[in-house]
Chains A and B, each alone.
Chain A
């Protein structure tokens, strides 16, 4: 987990783009998809996203490793929509309260594709963006306060440490006779106690880290940046790519007659 905070080993093209342009492109695409539940706009966007994967250094297995909760959630959403949405057209499946019709299946597939098309850019963005670069971009380009940005960045490094600490505290408490096995109530109680132990350690670590940062001059007014966050031609391409995908998805759906604004109802 701690290793995943850097992009060591990933030299794909998109790792060199500025995090802010990547973020803007992702926001554009997801904004269009969020407007309409239809399978045309979603599948056009999805097709382009899959094409972009190699540019971010993503492979299908890496994608599954990092994005499986999102992928499962999208699949579940699609399934439940197709069986629970109001029926229209020919009935395809009818098992008691579950029924699937042509209309509801179409809606379900639209939901599924849309879920994928919205989730994948987020995974894509995470896989080709180093948190340190993101912090640099947020502080230098987006002009967010550097105390806040760098404080968050330093704290993120502790999150990985806390995962290890959680395991150690769990063992240390078992060695004191606090069981983490047993019935639900016992488990909940043990988890609460363990969380408190972790909280204490997290606060101690955080205050020591704060002293370290303060002793290194952090928190003053003016500071310089060893790494300059820059825009390059690549960022124009990234942003342009985002606009093209968003527009194509919208145009395709409107011309196919499937565009379906969510808040207007169907």
Chain B
């Protein structure tokens, strides 16, 4: 336990990383995730790791954090195959508990305990830091990430996504690591949260001088924080794993086209998308769905004994019209209730007050209130694509996923092949949906909902965490649908996406109940 013997006030020594012909094959996979990696990172260097999906970026970070694969009693990898050597400060990453701190994507799983102070202390406790030193570190770490205003017993569940990630950073800093490993730390955050986390990381690096390795495909976010970009390529038998390596400006200048083609968001690059044939004037197109004085909440009426208490709406007085061939973008800060509004509009949540009414063109005999429709009536009228594709998978095969809607409706099966082709899923028909990559899952979830041919398509943050290629495909595909007369409602923070689709915008103000 090196940390225990050190002076608690001493800053951590930055760590060095050395990889020599390092490779890793996950248990049960035929191809290695990383092959023949040669890489030297000197202490204090800040590295942005880029590369197409499947290049093994996350695998490398997990390995550096010492949490890769099953480890048997000898501290060796279990079923998986490891080759070459990967060392942090000349030792195996598994041996140096606490030398590296890892932050992952999903903010909910970066928090361990239910009180802010306890959560920050958790890592230091595990390193057997003496009690007094722990609390000194907790206060310092919370101040460093800008959360010093929170009481130590503040519930972690009440934090926003950006705050959760900063809390995770504080928990890592309290361990005094020499190596900071960030695995797409801002992919699930809104633009404010992204900057919040990025700035906190930059501040802490300036203070501690720790080595940084960050994986992220939005280059502009990290370009000014890092001093080196390493581009990895998927493992192959002949080539090394590192494709490009150098200062950010040089790598971006040399490989801008190549990176953009691989779906990396290089700064200043907005992928070309299909433009609409003709953008109809606002207010034209058949009215399909209207919200009047709508109040929305995810909470169901609460029960206090026998009494029913209606939930406090997150937003009220919302009015909107959804018209055929028109795009509607729902925008606003995090926690404003955008998704809640969209789900209510889509007939999935019951309005707290006000109403959602379907026009005759849409309801076709199913009644005016979408919430009262049967599930099968709903899917051929309003299709909803959720933020997390996995929530919507109902079968074990890509092809079955696509056939599911048409089979239940009794028609529309002929559309399946067209969608497979159009969204590049043909090669994956036999794959299990859960095993697909992020971009493939997104394309599949859009395809499955469209297989039921809905007249209104509602999408919740469809571009979150997507690479530039998937982004462009999605925007182009939606513009085709709009031209064909489908109404598209998208909840999004993505200004470029909104611009690509055109149409009107419903901007929602921050909710009354402000998160502390």
Listed stretches B81-89, B102-110, B321-329, B491-499; interface member: B102-110
Task: Flag whether B134 is at the interface (Cβ < 8 A).
Answer: yes
Task: Flag whether B305 is at the interface (Cβ < 8 A).
Answer: yes
Q: Mark A186-219, 1 if CB is under 8 A from B, else 0.
A: 0000000100010011001100110111111111
Measured between beta carbons, the chain B residues less than 8 angstroms from A193 are: 394
Which residue of the partner chain, among A68, A173, A179, A211, contacts B376 with CB atoms under 8 Å?
Answer: A179
Task: Flag whether A131 is at the interface (Cβ < 8 A).
Answer: yes
Task: Flag whether B386 is at the interface (Cβ < 8 A).
Answer: yes
Contact check, A216 vs B391: say whether CB atoms are below 8 A apart: no
Listed stretches B120-128, B463-471, B500-508; interface member: B120-128
Residue among A64, A153, A200, A215 with max Cβ neighbours from chain B (10 Å): A215
Measured between beta carbons, the chain A residues less than 8 angstroms from B393 are: 197
Task: Flag whether A252 is at the interface (Cβ < 8 A).
Answer: no
Interface of A is mostly: helix
In the complex, what's the smallest C-beta–C-beta distance from A179 to chain B, in angstroms? 4
- A97→B128 CA distance, assembly (Å): 68
Task: Flag whether A185 is at the interface (Cβ < 8 A).
Answer: no
Task: Flag whether A160 is at the interface (Cβ < 8 A).
Answer: yes
Contact check, A216 vs B394: say whether CB atoms are below 8 A apart: no
Which residue of the partner chain, among A3, A169, A209, A227, contacts B109 with CB atoms under 8 Å?
Answer: A209
Contact check, B123 vs A6: say whether CB atoms are below 8 A apart: no
- A158→B130 CA distance, assembly (Å): 29
- A208→B108 CA distance, assembly (Å): 9
Which residue of the partner chain, among B128, B171, B175, B388, contacts A224 with CB atoms under 8 Å?
Answer: B128
Contact check, A175 vs B112: say whether CB atoms are below 8 A apart: no
Contact check, B391 vs A177: say whether CB atoms are below 8 A apart: no
Contact check, B126 vs A157: say whether CB atoms are below 8 A apart: no
Measured between beta carbons, the chain B residues less than 8 angstroms from A143 are: none
- A69→B360 CA distance, assembly (Å): 46
- A29→B385 CA distance, assembly (Å): 54
Which residue of the partner chain, among B65, B104, B346, contacts A208 with CB atoms under 8 Å?
Answer: B104
A135 to chain B: closest residue by CB:
B113
Contact check, A179 vs B374: say whether CB atoms are below 8 A apart: yes
Contact check, A132 vs B375: say whether CB atoms are below 8 A apart: no
Contact check, A216 vs B172: say whether CB atoms are below 8 A apart: yes
- A161→B109 CA distance, assembly (Å): 10
In the complex, given contacts A171-B343, A175-B348, A223-B128, what are 6 additional A-B residue pairs having Cβ atoms less than 8 angstroms apart? A3-B158, A176-B392, A178-B394, A179-B375, A193-B394, A220-B97
Task: Flag whether A122 is at the interface (Cβ < 8 A).
Answer: no
A164 to chain B: closest residue by CB:
B298
Which residue of the partner chain, among B114, B134, B384, B408, contacts A226 with CB atoms under 8 Å?
Answer: B134
A215 to chain B: closest residue by CB:
B102
Measured between beta carbons, the chain A residues less than 8 angstroms from B304 are: 61, 64-65
Q: Mark A165-176, 1 if CB is under 8 A from B, else 0.
A: 001110111111
B-side residues, CB < 8 A to A, are: 1, 62, 65-67, 97-98, 100-102, 104, 106, 108-115, 117-118, 121-131, 134-135, 138, 153, 155-158, 168, 171-172, 175, 298, 304-305, 343, 346, 348-349, 374-376, 378-379, 383-386, 388, 390-394, 404-405, 408-409, 434, 448-449, 452
In the complex, what's the smallest C-beta–C-beta distance from B167 to chain A, in angstroms? 12
Contact check, A64 vs B305: say whether CB atoms are below 8 A apart: yes
Q: Mark A117-154, 1 if CB is under 8 A from B, else 0.
A: 00000000000000110000000000000000000011
Measured between beta carbons, the chain B residues less than 8 angstroms from A177 are: 375-376, 378-379, 404-405, 408-409, 452
Total A-B pairs, Cβ < 8 A? 180
Contact check, A211 vs B349: say whether CB atoms are below 8 A apart: no
B409 to chain A: closest residue by CB:
A177
A222 to chain B: closest residue by CB:
B128
Q: A132-B118, A157-B111 are in contact. Are A172 and B392 (CB under 8 A)?
A: yes
In the complex, what's the smallest C-beta–C-beta distance from B7 to chain A, in angstroms? 16
Task: Flag whether A90 is at the interface (Cβ < 8 A).
Answer: no
Measured between beta carbons, the chain B residues less than 8 angstroms from A222 are: 1, 128
Contact check, B112 vs A154: say whether CB atoms are below 8 A apart: yes
- A68→B305 CA distance, assembly (Å): 7
Q: A160-B157, A200-B434 are in contact. Are A212 and B392 (CB under 8 A)?
A: no
- A204→B98 CA distance, assembly (Å): 24
Contact check, A211 vs B67: say whether CB atoms are below 8 A apart: yes
Measured between beta carbons, the chain A residues less than 8 angstroms from B122 are: 213, 216, 218
List 10 A-B pairs, Cβ < 8 Å. Answer: A3-B157, A132-B113, A132-B115, A157-B112, A176-B405, A177-B408, A178-B375, A205-B108, A213-B122, A216-B123
- A219→B94 CA distance, assembly (Å): 12
Which residue of the partner chain, among B100, B127, B298, B449, contacts A175 with CB atoms under 8 Å?
Answer: B449
In the complex, what's the smallest C-beta–C-beta distance from B8 to chain A, in angstroms? 12
Q: A177-B379, A212-B104 are in contact. Are A200 and B394 (CB under 8 A)?
A: no
A218 to chain B: closest residue by CB:
B126
Which residue of the partner chain, among B112, B171, B349, contacts A209 with CB atoms under 8 Å?
Answer: B112
In the complex, what's the smallest C-beta–C-beta distance from A256 to chain B, in angstroms? 34
In the complex, what's the smallest C-beta–C-beta distance from B259 to chain A, in angstroms? 28
Measured between beta carbons, the chain B residues less than 8 angstroms from A211 are: 62, 67, 102, 104
